[in-house]
Amino acid sequence: GQNIDQPTEMTATEGAIVQINCTYQTSGFNGLFWYQQHAGEAPTFLSYNVLDGLEEKGRFSSFLSRSKGYSYLLLKELQMKDSASYLCAVRDRGSQGNLIFGKGTKLSVKP
């Protein structure tokens, strides 16, 4: 089976940097995804990691360590619009496509 853990809530200040951690346990591993979900809206795709290391995409970066079952999402130069839930999701090696999502981390950005 799979188990994905991430903090329930985080608070950060506008302009700052925040790191949202995700740990996972799966019987296999075939990729890790991060999604952003604003309240009342659909999740939107942010990043995908399948190899170890850091993937940078503008203000957002995602890191993966497969040996540690660990990922983080790094958000730089926080803006008020970054207030949202951030969902970590893992694709099991045995799965051809479906993702298993964590419960999400609700990030509140304060002025």
Partner 1 sequence: GAGVSQSPRYKVTKRGQDVALRCDPISGHVSLYWYRQALGQGPEFLTYFNYEAQQDKSGLPNDRFSAERPEGSISTLTIQRTEQRDSAMYRCASSLGWPSYGYTFGSGTRLTVV
Q: Is 72 in the site for partner 1 (CB under 8 A)?
A: no
- Tell me which H or E stretch contains 87: strand 84-90
Q: Is 44 exposed, middle or buried (0-12, 13-18, 19+ CB in 10 A)?
A: exposed
CB-side exposure of 45: number of CA atoms within 13 Å?
Answer: 6
Residues, the chain, total?
A: 111
Q: Is 58 in the site for partner 1 (CB under 8 A)?
A: no
Tell me the window of 12-20, 29-37, 56-64, 76-84 that interacts with partner 1 (CB under 8 A). Answer: 29-37
Cβ(5)–Cβ(104) below 8 Å: no
- For partner 1, the binding residue among 22, 87, 107, 109 (CB under 8 A) is 87
- For partner 1, the binding residue among 10, 70, 76, 100 (CB under 8 A) is 100
Q: Is 27 in the site for partner 1 (CB under 8 A)?
A: no
| Rounded Cα distance, 43 and 38, in Å | 7
- For partner 1, the binding residue among 1, 42, 67, 111 (CB under 8 A) is 42
Q: Which is nearer to partner 1, 37 or 74 (CB)?
A: 37
- For partner 1, the binding residue among 14, 25, 28, 45 (CB under 8 A) is 45
| Rounded Cα distance, 97 and 64, in Å | 19
Q: Which residues bind partner 1 (CB under 8 A)?
A: 4, 30-31, 33, 35, 41-45, 48, 50, 87, 89, 91, 95-104, 106
